[in-house]
């Protein structure tokens, strides 16, 4: 039996490696949109009509998860899991976070509450797994140093953690965020590329 750590990337049946990246963040940050933008398969979402007071922002919400896939090269496939935003579904975080290589914490930079909500989510994720993550600011036109400093202070980010603007509807922008997560996880990626060197 092989003992696997929580960061051991999975081996795929036809060679190569599959790694799991989680997309988390507050309700309506753009998580489902981000995964739909980049996924090469139709995103499996478990959306349900919203009946409560957040309905004015959108009509459907992710209740369990989104699931997407992107093949970076023949030997490396990323599986993307989007978490539900509403806190009443936070029991799903632990399940989705299992064996992830890293995660994206996505915040809607056009709404101040989004950053405040992200604080609670980040506390839970940090407690759950010490894996690298990237803070992506959706709907941000660039990022001025004062805004970045504010975000870093509110979320208590260290200098290692990348903070980057993002457009969840734009493929190149989403790809840049995913690559930043992979670069952050470069120690684990050495394991991923081991078979290619052998």
Ligand X SMILES: Nc1nc2c(ncn2[C@@H]2O[C@H](COP(=O)(O)OP(=O)(O)O)[C@@H](O)[C@H]2O)c(=O)[nH]1
Residues found near ligand X in the complex (CB under 6 A):
25, 27-33, 58, 61-62, 85, 138-139, 167-169
Chosen from Mg ion, ligand X, none, partner binding at 132 (C-beta under 5 to 8 Å by type): none
Of 6 and 110, which has the nearer Cβ to ligand X? 110
Rounded Cα distance, 38 and 70, in Å: 7
**Least distance to Mg ion, CB of residue 44, Å:** 12
Q: Tell me the C-alpha distance between 140 and 115, whole Å.
A: 13
- The one of ligand X, Mg ion, none whose footprint includes residue 96, by CB under 5 to 8 A per kind, is none
Which positions from 148 to 167 touch Mg ion by CB under 5 A, shown as an x/- string? Answer: --------------------
Rounded Cα distance between 33 and 35, Å, is: 6
Q: Which helix (H) or strand (E) holds 150?
A: helix 145-155
30 binds, among ligand X, Mg ion, none (CB under 5 to 8 A by kind): ligand X
Length of the chain: 198
Cα 59 to Cα 94: distance, rounded to the nearest angstrom:
26
Q: Please state the closest distance from residue 74 (CB atom) to ligand X, in A.
A: 30
Nearer to ligand X, 9 or 82 (CB): 82
Binding string, 51-90, against Mg ion, x = CB under 5 A? -----------x----------------------------
> Whose Cβ is closer to ligand X: residue 53's or residue 73's?
53
**Smallest gap from residue 116 Cβ to ligand X (A):** 15
Give me the DSSP letters along 76-143. EEEEEEEPP-SGGGTHHHHHHHTT-SEEEEEEETT-HHHHHHHHHHHHHHHHH----EEEEEET-SS-
- Other CB atoms within a 10 A radius of the CB of residue 178 amount to 21
User: What is each CA distance from 35 to 38, 88, 195, 197, in whole angstroms?
Assistant: 5, 22, 28, 31
* Residue from 17, 32, 37, 138 in contact with Mg ion (CB under 5 A): 32
For ligand X, the closer of residues 165 and 184 by Cβ is 165
What 3-state DSSP class applies to 162? coil
Enumerate binding residues for Mg ion (CB under 5 A): 31-32, 62
């Amino acid at each position: 039996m092989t003992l696997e750590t929580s960061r051991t990337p999975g081996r795929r049946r036809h060679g190569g490696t599959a790694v799991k990246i989680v997309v988390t963040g507050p309700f309506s940050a753009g998580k489902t949109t981000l995964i739909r933008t980049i996924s090469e398969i139709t995103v499996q979402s478990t959306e349900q009509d919203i009946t409560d007071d957040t309905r004015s922002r959108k009509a459907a919400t992710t209740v369990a998860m989104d699931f997407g896939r992107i093949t970076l090269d023949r030997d490396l496939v990323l599986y993307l899991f989007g978490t539900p935003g509403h806190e009443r579904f936070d029991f799903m975080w632990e399940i989705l976070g299992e064996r992830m290589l890293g995660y994206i914490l996505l915040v809607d930079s056009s709404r101040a509450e989004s950053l405040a909500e992200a604080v609670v989510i980040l506390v839970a994720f940090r407690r759950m797994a010490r894996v690298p993550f990237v803070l992506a600011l959706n709907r941000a036109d660039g990022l001025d140093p004062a805004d970045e400093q504010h975000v870093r202070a509110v979320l208590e980010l260290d200098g290692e953690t990348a903070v980057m603007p993002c457009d969840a509807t734009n493929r190149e922008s989403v790809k840049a965020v995913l690559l930043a997560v992979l670069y952050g996880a470069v120690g684990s990626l050495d394991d991923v590329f081991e078979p290619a060197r052998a």
